[in-house]
Amino acid sequence: MKRPTIADIARRAGVSKGAVSYALNGQPGVSDTTRKRILAIAQEIGFNANSAARALSGARARAVGLTLCRPARILGIEPWFMGLISGFEAELGAQSYALTLQVVATPEQEVEVYRRWWGERRIDGVIVTDLRENDLRIPVLHQLQLPAVVIGGSGEESPVTQIWSDDGGAITEAVRYLVALGHSRIARVSGVPDLLHTQVRTKAFNEVCASLGLSDAITVPADYTGEEGSRATRRLLIGGDRPTAIIYDNDVMAVAGLAVAQEMGLSVPGDLSIVAWDDSPLCSLVHPPLTALSRDVSGYGAQAARELLNAIDGKKVGNVKAQTAHLTPRGSTAPPRT
């Protein structure tokens, strides 16, 4: 009933606890035959090293932390986080690292969680999302010397490793595609304006629209929720000179926008074309299925986890550029009906 320790193995194998430790961890210091004997015994009695004892003797906690900073009502249907989590796991599981999760309400609270986790030595590093301008978390991470990887930066120089993707390039592709279809009044419903990648997208959107001579290009800020997506869409469609195409900064708002169009009796894509950022099964779930800017979210997560494990191992890691999102055309985009 009592869970076995290395002392039990040592006794049964007739060796010291040190020898057992070396054998189990693949360290030199034991002969091949004793190693095999020890491993066989460990296997037989179902031994798992006490993680607290390992952590205490200077080894790692073998856990990384992730905080989720979203109101509960949006967390549930935002496919993004779960995709990311799947990706982390694929990488962490292989190295038997655990993932510790905490839901927080504000960035301040998030910083507190980092301090506590690190103080408790509960985790060896953290994955940080939703980077903002002058993000208050960055100096804290730096000061704590807490290994971290930031997702969603702009790729600029930073004291903390970033995984970033060329969102500007992706949105430029989307706009060019819509223009090629014949659209000239293109609007955008953005995510939270504070977020760095929102700013990158907004800048690129404005630039490409200006360069293509689209004077009506307008961005309405929202917050990724369906409610705000609906509100922003209504605002855009109510006007006299309404856009013939809208690009949304996430899939949830795009689905909400589609519902608003249907509710107003507009046909999609006849009267309105819709492009969603972040392709998830949600986009294929609705009718018509949504044209989306796709990327491999869980691959992105796996990459982040890999870099974090490197950072934890003390390897110097620089910023990493992930795959750029690419356009996946589906039924929600077409030439505008004239």
Contact residues for a copy of itself, defined by CB under 8 A? 1, 3, 46-56, 61, 63, 72-83, 85-86, 89-90, 93, 96, 98-103, 115-116, 118-122, 145, 225-226, 252, 255-256, 258-260, 262-263, 280-282, 284-287, 289, 297-298
The pair phi, psi for residue 138, each rounded to 5°, is -60, -50
Residues with Cβ within 8 Å of 36's Cβ and at least 6 positions away in sequence, in order, are: none
Q: Residue 108 corresponds to which amino acid?
A: E
* Binds 266: which of DNA, a copy of itself, none (CB < 5-8 Å by kind): none
Question: Rule CB under 7 A: is residue 95 a binding residue for DNA?
Answer: no
Question: Rule CB under 7 A: is residue 58 a binding residue for DNA?
Answer: yes
Q: Are 252 and 224 in contact (CB under 8 A)?
A: yes
Residue among 40, 45, 53, 105 that touches DNA (CB under 7 A): 53
Beta bridge partners of residue 187, listed in sequence order: 218, 246
Q: Cβ closer to a copy of itself: 38 or 217? A: 38
Residue among 6, 84, 126, 254 that touches DNA (CB under 7 A): 6
DSSP-assigned states of every residue in 174-195:
HHHHHHHHT---EEEEES-TTB
* Binds 324: which of DNA, a copy of itself, none (CB < 5-8 Å by kind): none
* Binds 7: which of DNA, a copy of itself, none (CB < 5-8 Å by kind): DNA
| CA–CA separation, 34 and 57 (whole Å) | 24
Closest CA to 83 of 327, 283, 307: 283
Q: Cβ closer to DNA: 240 or 315? A: 315
Q: Which stretch binds DNA (CB under 7 A): 29-37, 217-225, 232-240, 289-297?
A: 29-37
Here the tokens at position 47 are: 């031994």
* Binds 86: which of a copy of itself, DNA, none (CB < 5-8 Å by kind): a copy of itself
Cα angle 220, 289, 253 (rounded to 5 degrees) comes to: 25
Residue among 27, 95, 143, 267 that touches DNA (CB under 7 A): 27
Helix segments in 124-212, DSSP class H: 137-144, 167-181, 196-211
Question: Rule CB under 7 A: is residue 34 a binding residue for DNA?
Answer: yes
**Least CB distance from residue 115 to DNA, whole Å?**
14
**Least CB distance from residue 6 to a copy of itself, whole Å?**
12
Task: List Cα–Cα distances, 248 to 189, 195, 297, in angstroms.
Answer: 5, 15, 17
| CA–CA separation, 267 and 332 (whole Å) | 10
Question: Rule CB under 7 A: is residue 176 a binding residue for DNA?
Answer: no
* Binds 271: which of DNA, a copy of itself, none (CB < 5-8 Å by kind): none
* Binds 12: which of a copy of itself, DNA, none (CB < 5-8 Å by kind): none
**Least CB distance from residue 117 to DNA, whole Å?**
14
Q: Cβ closer to DNA: 17 or 176? A: 17
| CA–CA separation, 149 and 271 (whole Å) | 43
Q: Are 174 and 254 in contact (CB under 8 A)?
A: no
Q: How far is CA 83 from the centre of its chain?
A: 7
Question: Rule CB under 7 A: is residue 31 a binding residue for DNA?
Answer: yes
CA dihedral (101, 225, 193, 152) in degrees, to 10, reads: 40
Positions touching DNA (CB under 7 A) are: 4-7, 14-22, 24-25, 27-32, 34, 47, 49-50, 53-54, 56-59
